[in-house]
Amino acid sequence: MRPSARTASMCTAEESARITHSFKVVGGMLHRGFGVGNSVRSAAFAAGGPRRLISKPNVEATTVLYDFRLVNQVSGLSSSVFTNLAVFNAPKPLSWGRRRFMKKSDLEALGYLKDDCLEIECDLTMIKVDEIDAPHSDMVHGLGKLLESEEAADATFKVQGEVFRAHRLVLAMRSPVFRAEFYGPFGDKRKEEAVVVEDMEPPVFKALLHFIYTDSLPTMDDLDCHEYEEMAKHLLVAADRYGMERMKLISKLKDACIRFINFSNRKDAVAASQGYEHLKTACPTVVAEIWGKPAKSRKI
């Protein structure tokens, strides 16, 4: 089963600047000491504003598409010989240059080298990367608000004289029992009738609706330990009655954890754990239930 929580983000790339830098190597430099292991350096140049494409400390990394081209000395046209995408000022060093060298005789034959002049063009495209954090899904929050407002509600329930309004489609989506009740063979005939819910307390039915719309149980912090335990039992019965398997599992899992803590003498280990302080703040009723069990009486 895939995780129930989902987040999203997006990365977009767009050109922020384009520039061509021309670099000419002229004269005796082409003959003396110019070969494997030796290099010449062009002047520094700016592209995309104040950032320079040379390594400087404390400068933001820049993604660049660069294309090295050789200029034909006869036609004036250039041809690409090496293209790559690189991140300048990145933590890891870059690997520069073309692995396959061209012979001087080939440069002359192709018209790139003439009168001791070699011209290299470097086309640079600065790429701006924008990372956009998509907001968290508010679907559950929206459904909770829909339940509270009763807007467009088309189902009415009467529970021991108390009336609840809800939405048939949402209920049917979450519960097979409600789906059969509203969209089964007799669903249309009962469309205008209020559904009378027998053998259930209004707070329990309200908590059931809360779970259906928000996929979570209400906090119930206003209940004492005994009331909380009774509510949990009634919710388990309600979940079974309406086929809410996830709700049943959550209730059983919580109860199993509490019983494991109480009957295996692990209360001291729980109290010493890092999550206990958060548990006291976020779920005080669960903490009260842990310490309230008769297996071992202790104050918080």
Q: What is the pLDDT of residue 53?
A: 46
Residue 296 pLDDT class (50, 70, 90 cuts):
very low
Q: Tell whether domain 138-194 is in CATH 3.30.1370.100.
A: no
Q: What is the mean pLDDT of residues 284-288?
A: 62
Q: Is 217 helix (H, G, I), strand (E, B) or coil?
A: coil
> Going by DSSP bridges, is the β-strand pair 195-196/155-159 parallel, antiparallel, or unpaired?
parallel
| Structure-block tokens of residue 49 | 């504003």
Largest Cα–Cα distance in the chain? 103
Report, as an integer, the average pLDDT of 111-136.
78
162-166 and 155-159: which strand pairing?
antiparallel
3-class DSSP state of 78? strand
- The answer to whether 18 touches 125, Cβ cutoff 8 Å, is yes
Sketch the domain layout of the chain as residue ranges.
Answer: 14-30+44-129, 138-194, 217-300
Question: Which CATH code fits 14-30+44-129?
Answer: 2.60.210.10
Q: What is the pLDDT of residue 107?
A: 85
Pure H helices in the chain: 104-109, 139-149, 168-174, 176-183, 202-214, 225-241, 245-263, 267-271, 275-282, 284-292
pLDDT of amino acid 224 = 74
Q: Which amino acid is at 238?
A: A
Output 179 or 127, whichever has higher pLDDT.
179
Per residue in 32-69, pLDDT (tens digit) is 656 666 777 888 877 665 544 444 555 455 677 888 88
Could you read off the pLDDT of 202-256 as tens digits, one per residue?
999 999 999 999 998 888 777 776 787 788 889 989 999 999 998 888 777 666 6
Is the pLDDT at 91 greater than 60, yes or no? no
**Does the structure show a pLDDT above 70 at 117?**
yes
Q: What is the mean pLDDT of residues 184-207?
A: 84
The whole-number average pLDDT for the span 1-25 is 68
Residue 295 pLDDT: 39
- How are strands ordered across the β-sheet holding 162-166? 162-166, 155-159, 195-196
pLDDT of residue 92: 55
pLDDT over 90 (residue 105): no
Using the structure block, give the residue that is written with the tokens 């703040």. Answer: 281
278 has a pLDDT exceeding 80: no
pLDDT (average), residues 256-266 = 63
Kindly report the pTM of this predicted structure: 0.48
Go through 246-273 and write b for each residue having 16 or more CB atoms within 10 A of its CB, e for each that does not.
Answer: ebbebbeeeeeebeebbeeeebeebbee
Average pLDDT, the chain: 76
Q: Residue 241: which of 198, 196, 288, 206 has the closest Cα?
A: 198
171 pLDDT above the threshold of 50: yes
